[in-house]
């Protein structure tokens, strides 16, 4: 019963702290001040196996970590280890919330951890998930990771990395994915000639036309980058 009560409490707090409005932001701070971060850690450390409460626990962590100073405290308290482990969960909801939490935590730290880099193949695999929420979460986490040069190198080594990210630009196949994040990932590796060739081969130029019309952040810069390469003969026209 105690475990069920904790799961319900975590889920309630996650719902209360979801959002970006002023009232919701205040609730995040109040939850943190009330010891919610410590409660999440205690729950994660006491979990045996892939419990249902993991998803709301990581969801609450993600919500609170949207505040930089809370994220810094979470990183220093080893929450990243729990998040990385959860990416291997058999439950899509747990993987999704863990990836979202990783995106927030990597915005403030974990830039030089080898084990964080080991999450990149798993996140690329998640880009092929059936649930659009899981694909979106993986794209957000990858966008945060490839902001660091060391993780960009690891991403570029993955055979399916570019192709899977480009597919998220397709509005028909990835409706519901925030295109800003796959665009951000592609921009981060666009200085690589090989990566640009892979983007074009995967159909990025065609998908970008719709994103340009929608004025998606970064779309014009990426389109210009790919367009220059084509004009310079770096890769074939498509």
The residue with greater pLDDT, 181 or 236, is 181
What angle is formed at CA 158 by the lines to CA 140 and CA 71, rounded to 5 degrees? 30
Q: What is the pTM of this model?
A: 0.90
Asked whether 10 and 55 are in contact (CB, 8 A), the reply is no
For residue range 33-84, what is the model confidence (pLDDT) as tens digits?
999 999 999 999 988 776 778 999 999 999 999 999 999 999 999 999 999 9
Confidence band of 2 (pLDDT split at 50, 70, 90): low
Tokens of 37: 């971060």
* CA distances to 128, 130, 186 from 161, in Å: 11, 17, 10
- Return the pLDDT at 108: 77
Taking each helix axis from N to C end, the angle separating 92-105 and 68-76, rounded to the nearest 10 degrees, works out to 110
For residue range 197-228, what is the model confidence (pLDDT) as tens digits?
999 999 999 999 999 998 999 999 999 999 86
- Return the pLDDT at 143: 97
For residue range 136-181, what is the model confidence (pLDDT) as tens digits?
999 999 999 999 888 999 999 999 999 999 999 998 877 889 999 9
- Return the pLDDT at 172: 82
Please name the fold of domain 1-110.
1.25.10
Task: Transcribe the chain into DSSP letters.
Answer: -HHHHHHHHHHHHHHHT-S-SHHHHHHHHHHHHTTHHHHHHHHHHH--SS-TTHHHHHHHHHHHTTSHHHHHHHHHTTHHHHHHHHTT-S-HHHHHHHHHHHHHHTTTS-TT-HHHHTTHHHHHHHTT-SSHHHHHHHHHHHHHHTTSHHHHHHHHH-TTHHHHHHHTT-TTTSTTS-THHHHHHHHHTTT-HHHHHHHHHTTHHHHHHHHHHTT-TTHHHHHHHHHHHHHTTSS---
Least confident piece of the model among 19-23, 31-35, 84-88, 141-145: 19-23
Least confident piece of the model among 85-99, 110-124, 146-160, 203-217: 110-124
- Return the pLDDT at 150: 87
Q: How far apart are CA 65 and CA 109, in angstroms?
A: 12
- Return the pLDDT at 53: 81
The residue with greater pLDDT, 95 or 5, is 95
Asked whether 139 and 103 are in contact (CB, 8 A), the reply is no
- Return the pLDDT at 162: 97
- Return the pLDDT at 188: 96
pLDDT at 238 over 70: no
- Return the pLDDT at 235: 44
**Length in residues, the chain:** 238
* Residue-wise burial string across 139-156, b where 16 or more C-beta atoms lie within 10 A, e elsewhere: bbbbbbbbebeebbebbb
- Return the pLDDT at 230: 56
For residue range 180-191, what is the model confidence (pLDDT) as tens digits?
999 999 999 999
Domain boundaries, the chain: 1-110, 117-238
- Return the pLDDT at 98: 97
Confidence band of 109 (pLDDT split at 50, 70, 90): low
Asked whether 197 and 234 are in contact (CB, 8 A), the reply is yes
**Residues near 97 by beta carbon (within 8 Å), at least 6 away in sequence:** 54, 55, 56, 57, 58, 59, 62, 86, 137
Tokens of 73: 């405290």
């Amino acid at each position: 019963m105690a475990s069920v009560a904790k799961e319900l409490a975590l889920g309630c707090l996650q719902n209360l702290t979801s959002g970006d409005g002023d009232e919701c932001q205040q609730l995040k701070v109040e939850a943190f001040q009330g010891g919610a971060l410590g409660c999440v850690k205690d729950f994660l450390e006491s979990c045996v196996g892939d419990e249902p409460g993991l998803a709301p626990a990581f969801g609450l962590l993600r919500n609170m970590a949207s505040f930089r100073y809370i994220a810094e405290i979470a990183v220093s308290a080893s929450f990243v280890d729990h998040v990385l482990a959860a990416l291997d969960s058999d439950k899509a909801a747990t993987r999704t919330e863990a990836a979202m939490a990783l995106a927030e935590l990597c915005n403030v730290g974990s830039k030089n951890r080898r084990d964080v880099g080991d999450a990149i193949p798993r996140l690329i695999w998640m880009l092929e998930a059936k649930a659009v929420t899981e694909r979106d979460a993986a794209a957000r986490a990858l966008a945060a990771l490839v902001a660091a040069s060391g993780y960009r190198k690891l991403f570029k080594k993955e055979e399916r990395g570019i192709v899977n990210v480009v597919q998220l630009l397709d509005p028909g196949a990835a409706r519901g994915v925030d295109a800003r994040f796959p665009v951000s990932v592609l921009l981060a590796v666009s200085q690589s000639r090989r990566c640009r060739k892979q983007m074009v081969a995967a159909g990025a130029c065609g998908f970008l036309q719709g994103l340009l019309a929608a004025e998606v952040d970064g779309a014009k810069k990426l389109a210009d980058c790919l367009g220059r390469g084509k004009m310079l003969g770096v890769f074939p026209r498509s």
